[in-house]
Structure 1
Amino acid sequence: MIREWTRDDTVPFLRAPTADDDKYSRGVVALRTGSRAYPGAAVLGVEAAWRAGAGYVRYLGGAADAVLARRPETVAGTDIGRTRVGAWVIGSGTDPAHRDGEELAAMQEILHREEPVVVDAGALDLAHGATAPLVLTPHAGELARLRERLGLTAVRDSTAEQRIAEVVETAETLGNVVVRKGAQTIIAAPGTLPITVSNGPAWLSTAGTGDVLAGVIAALLAANPEQPRHEVAAAAVWLHGHAGALASGAVDGAAGHPIVALDLAQALPAAIGELIA
């Protein structure tokens, strides 16, 4: 059995702030993402975290100049100081082949903290053995490589049923949440029914939208610390898809039009506004 995630399932994970809220209660997201080769991944993740409702965003990676040029309200530095982080993002826009000792040590430290960590792209190889609660966000190729690393069979041309089974097995092996990105995104966590999300338009198949998703997941994790991680991730995926539909004009049966990842991030506030109205 599987569970297909819906708009109604997503709404409880979003709320308008009240007079009693401050930047911390709205959620604090910290990101160690991006690199000289891929600074845009850091920009997109930070933008998404802000646009998805985070009250405070810290950035610790190697693309601080690009991040601050786009989002000057972000707090950048080499460490988080005394900031109470609600969720992390690591790996977007990084490459394990170019990871130095300092970067490895920093990622390992994050992976052994208490806060949830969204593990994307160039940090997926570090997930095994981590003690922090994780949400892994591989696309199909990254999942295949991760499964090979874990000693699991990787089927490149699998059926829908096999894809779900692979995500479930990977989640059980790692003891954490796995989000396999795709036209049908599959979310699995140990001991739970797998969830599928299929509301995103095909226009989302463009570079950088995964970086945006990582920021959205982290923002919702930080804002919903008591909720199950796999359900928070599913809500973030549905919100991401809805924002993609709004950004591309692919609503009410319309074909829509091309978008870039920054268009997607900028559509998040309108998507949230529709859901909490």
Structure 2
Amino acid sequence: MGKGGLIGELSAEFAGTMVLILFGCGVVAQVVLAEGASGDYQSINWAWGIGVTLGVYTAARLSGAHLNPAVTVALAAFKGFSWAKVGPYCLAQLAGAFVAALIVRAVYADFIGAVDPDTTAATQGVFFTAPGLMPDGNTVSITTAFVDQVVGTAILVFVIFALTTAWNNPPLANIGPWFVGLLVVGIGMAFGANAGYAINPARDLGPRIAAFLTGYGDAFVPAEGPVYFWLPIVAPLIGGLVGGALFKFLIEIHLTDPEVEEPAVGEARPNV
């Protein structure tokens, strides 16, 4: 690890997650509040992917750039990451997402005040996810949204493990973050409709707390519809474990041992 020790690692997780959410919530704010005049759903997919890429470059050398509690837990379960660091890493990620959302809230305060002065469900999607709205006017069921988040996060972790396991002939570490960003773009394009592809508990909970504290009073208990905030926390954690297990048993156990020991996945990589 870097000479900063655990404090340096947590600082990197905070900063990397903050960069991710600045781009992610920022692009949703631009698209939603400008009513499509400044982008569309594809803009959202690409900006989230760019945010992931730049967040990984920000944090990778010090912390391995998890940027996601689901990734951190999966790394501890299957890749030897220290369980003692799981809680601190997750808190740092949550704090980074929270601060980034506050910044987006401040930058877009005039737009929010003009478009949605009562801070209602009309603009809450800038900050946190909800079940998707179908053409018949009904929302996606909790069961479907839960399965969607498990599947999306399983894909995320499975492919991250594939991209970062040296035995699997991955891309070079210095371009690896671009492939992780493209992975997130692909997940958004393929699995974004049901539940907004949170696939990251910190990404949803941090901005949700920020939104609640800045006027979105029903962020946790909506006036209508089911209580949903728990789902983007629980389902991605399960999905990450599913994806990690699938990689281990479908791919990793069949790989030939490397001649040179590699850094554990999720640990700092000096050549990033």
Question: Structure 1 length as normaliser, TM-score?
Answer: 0.24
Higher relative contact order (CA 8 A, sep 6+): 2
User: Of Structure 1 and Structure 2, which has the larger fraction of its residues in helix?
Assistant: 2
Larger of the two Rg values belongs to structure: 2
